[in-house]
Amino acid sequence: MLLSMTGFGEARLQEERWTVSVEIRTVNNRHLKLSAKISDPYGALEPDLERLVRETIRRGTVQVVLRIDRPRRVEDYRLNVVALTSYRDQLDALQGSNSTSSTPLSSLLVLPGVVEERKPATDDPHQDWPVLSAVISQALVKLQSARAEEGNAMANELLVLGKAVATHLDQIVARGPEVVAAYQKRLIERVQSLVEGQGVTIEPKDLIREVAILSERADIAEEIVRLRAHLAQYIDVIHEPESAGRKLEFVVQEMGRETNTIGSKANDVEISRCVVEIKGLLEKIRELIQNVE
């Protein structure tokens, strides 16, 4: 089963003590690269988060956003009396001794440092990890579901492209004997036109030898056998239980190598056309498997 490296998953937990939300996005990458954004003071949990992600994802760029929001409480805010008194005393001094009223304290509350927001501290963020990891796991399940759905669509398209490659390969196989026969005919006609009226005769065995030499040089039977074998392996990899994007890359690389050899050895227009078509199909396959885990 193929898995796409592109996907999205989210999960949310809302309780009286807090609200936890997780968003996970993935895009393609040759290696696993994790980027995490975690609310304070839970940054220390990033190694645990990475271990959890690695249990599910093997390749791709993974972006995780973990938000932990707690409801505000009375004890979360306090006045900085020192700062408040300092502001008031300095303002009173600027107003001078003739002033009949002191600066209202309420007008000083918006000044920097007067009201302090005290974020609830957690003695040990790891104590909350069992709950947080459960929410993250839910998001990963949804992510994998999306990646599997897209991977299934990609697998179907890859199979269609592989079938098209096999069709063109069958055309090459069928054309092979005709290439030798056509070359033999052209060779005989050319020789006859050259020796006509010269009183020179050409032994049939000499013509046969030339045809045999061409047949050996243009023999693509071995390349065809290997390309068929790679194509069969390509289909097997697509149906493997685990997604194997890298293995597909290697197999398609070998398919391209055999196709290039066939094109260079077979001196025939029809075979060259089939080779060009196969190369185009392999390029489409490469673009698809770049997003397969």
Task: Give all strands (DSSP E) within the chain, no chain letters.
Answer: 7-14, 19-27, 32-38, 60-69, 77-79, 115-117
- What pLDDT, on a 0 to 100 scale, did the predictor assign at position 89? 81
pLDDT level of residue 192 (50, 70, 90 thresholds): low
Is the confidence at residue 98, as pLDDT, over 70? no
Is the confidence at residue 195, as pLDDT, over 70? no
Q: Which of the pair, 208 or 227, is modelled with greater confidence?
A: 227
Q: Which of the pair, 110 or 193, is modelled with greater confidence?
A: 110
Return the axis-axis angle of helices 221-238 and 245-265, rounded to nearest 10°: 160
- What pLDDT, on a 0 to 100 scale, did the predictor assign at position 153? 95
pLDDT, one tens digit per residue, over 233-291 is 999 999 999 999 999 999 999 999 999 999 888 778 888 999 999 999 999 999 999 99
Q: What is the pTM of this model?
A: 0.73
- By the 8 A CB rule, do 150 and 293 touch? no
Tell me the C-alpha to C-alpha distance, in Å, between residue 249 and each of 32, 33, 76, 259, 291.
17, 20, 55, 15, 11
Least confident of 39-48, 70-79, 283-292: 70-79
- What pLDDT, on a 0 to 100 scale, did the predictor assign at position 215? 60
